[in-house]
Structure 1
Amino acid sequence: MFIHEIEPGLALKLIDYQDTDRLYNLIHRSRTFLRRWLAWVDHTTKPADTYSFVDASLKGYVERKSLTTVILYDHEIAGVVSFHAIDWQNKKAEIGYWLGEDYAGKGIMPKAVSALIDYAFFELLLNRVEIRAAVFNKSSRRVAEKLNFVEEGTIRGAEWLGDHFVDHVVYGMLVRDWVK
């Protein structure tokens, strides 16, 4: 099983079926917090929904189309960081991430995203990683900006979020610019 220790008490682990209940409970506890920016939260109403997500994530991993990891903070699942779309032909991937409410503001996400980007550039040999975040999602955008991603533009009406469309800011990082 893929486990990558970032620092003591912080690691990324390939998602697996055994994570289903803990992941669902984290989503359930953070439902109001997550709902603001993640449309899928309202469709995750029972552990079976999370099981289906884990199943699809593992199939995507086996098919080399995606890579989903849980973020372990002091051995507890704190959130998820993933490449939800890997384009091998163009050597690029889109990264997505979220944390449970109890874990926000602890500096976890920039470290987790940085570790996955290292994996993309130095293990998968990709050239580009993209982050897309809703224009007003300051927390998500701050992660991209802390990691020196280049703001490349805005996609208008990019996502239906509950009862309205939101615009997305697109950030990009190329392997040649990735400096830690």
Structure 2
Amino acid sequence: MFLLQVDEEIQIKLLMPKDATALTTVLCANQEHLKTWLPWAVEIPSVSTYEKEIIPSWLQKFADNNGFEAGIFYKNKLVGMAGLHYIDWRNKTTELGY
């Protein structure tokens, strides 16, 4: 598992299915702002969809060495995300998301 302890209060780590409720809560609370920039945020997926489909697909992407989606935690509370959406190893490029 990937975990980066930035300082005493901040961690960046892979999201697990148990984080689906916290993720959905943060996304819904910020939906108006997010949907301006992110087309997928017009309709936030359900907790169940994150738990059973989306987060497991992110974990598989990490296991396949093809990028990652990680949660940013402040004082153990999910406050955001950062990730590499796809890694093109041949051309040494990727897309950063946050």
TM tier relative to shorter chain: 0.7 to 0.9
Post-superposition shift, 1:92?
2.1
TM-score (norm: length of structure 2):
0.88
> Once the two structures are superposed, what CA deviation does each residue of 1:72-111 show, in whole Å capped at 9, x if it has no partner?
11110011100001111122221100xxxxxxxxxxxxxx
Q: Which runs of 5+ in 2 are unaligned?
A: none
Q: Which position in structure 1 is the counterpart of 2:69? A: 68
Would the aligned equivalents of 2:17 and 2:50 in 1 still touch at CA under 8 Å? no
Task: Indicate yes or no: 2:48 matched with 1:28.
Answer: no
Greater percentage in strand: 1
Aligned length: 97
Q: Which position in structure 1 is the counterpart of 2:93? A: 92
Identical-residue share of aligned pairs (%): 24
Q: Which position in structure 1 is the counterpart of 2:15? A: 15
Q: 5 Å matches for 1:1-150?
A: 1-51=1-51, 52-97=53-98
Would the aligned equivalents of 1:44 and 1:50 in 2 still touch at CA under 8 Å? no
Q: Which has the higher contact order (CA 8 A, sep 6+)?
A: 2
> Once the two structures are superposed, what CA deviation does each residue of 1:115-146 show, in whole Å capped at 9, x if it has no partner?
xxxxxxxxxxxxxxxxxxxxxxxxxxxxxxxx
> Once the two structures are superposed, what CA deviation does each residue of 1:26-61 show, in whole Å capped at 9, x if it has no partner?
111111121111111123242123232212211111
What is the alpha-carbon distance in structure 2 between the residues aligned to residue 41 and residue 55 of structure 1?
A: 19
What amino acid is the match of 2:97? G
Give 3-state SS (helix, strand or coil) of 1:8's partner. Answer: coil
TM-score (norm: length of structure 1):
0.50
> 4+ runs of 1 displaced by more than 4 Å?
none
What is the alpha-carbon distance in structure 2 between the residues aligned to residue 83 and residue 58 of structure 1?
A: 12
